[in-house]
Amino acid sequence: MRSPERQPLEGRTIAITGAAGGIGAPVARMLRERGARIIGIDRAECGQCDASIVTDLSDDASLAALARRLADDTPDILVNIAGIMRFGLHESQPVEALALCYHINLTVPAVLAQAVAGPMRRRGSGQIVNIGSVLGAIPYPWFAAYSSSKAGLAALSQGLRREFLGTGVTVTHINPRAARTPFNNAQVNRFLDITGMKADEPEWVARRIVEAIVARRETVNIGAMERLYAALNAVSPRLIDNGLASQIRRARAEFC
């Protein structure tokens, strides 16, 4: 009698921040379907998870408590999905909103990665997955804080990957495009429409994230044109300036 086929993540424990969100929930479900035990970390219970840690990542004390918990009981894989979007002219952003954007998008992943890094290194295995954004590789106007926080997450991921070389610990950094989830408010959706930016379905994005986790890939940029534009932006930002000029004119007419 043929034994059942083993799932790729069978026996693994995965902790996911933002697990109740528009991308986090399908990622949790798909990873669970592949045999993992899922611990969801969010402000609400995660229906797709085996267990939930309900906490407020914006609160320093709560974040510190979560970090201690993950350090003491370290998962096989940590997936940082939780994020905050800021849209609008940078000059119009409240200081408190900017601070929250950087805190959730960059400080939280850095603190949680720090918590699990030592235990993962000592046992010689583990994976830290950071979900960035194509806007971190191609910084967009009206998204200055969000873009820069996600660019910082890319640098954090690369620095950690190099620290972990040869240890058995993998760092995976994934840059999705926009997705049609409640993460986007009405203004963001309007910006996507008038600029012609593509927004993917959450299930499709989640599947790409899960595939990258299972394959233990290091860097994934979703979208062929986005990969090209990110490479061009790295070597010749002025080309991207020129390419975005018509989009910026349309956006200014709408939002300024």
The catalytic residue positions are 146
What's the DSSP call for residue 103? I
**Taking the CB of residue 123, how many other CB atoms lie within 10 A of it?**
13
**Taking the CB of residue 32, how many other CB atoms lie within 10 A of it?**
17
C-alpha distances (whole Å) from 80 to each of 147, 155, 231, 253 are 17, 15, 24, 36
Contact between residue 73 and residue 116 where contact means Cβ atoms under 8 Å apart: no
Q: What CA dihedral angle connects 205, 155, 129 and 150, to 10 degrees? A: -40
Per-residue exposure over 167-206, b if at least 16 CB sit within 10 Å of its own CB, e if not: eebbbbbbbbbbbebebbeeebeebbeebebebbebeebb
Contact between residue 39 and residue 13 where contact means Cβ atoms under 8 Å apart: yes
Contact between residue 25 and residue 48 where contact means Cβ atoms under 8 Å apart: yes
Rounded to whole angstroms, how far apart are CA atoms 200 and 192? 11
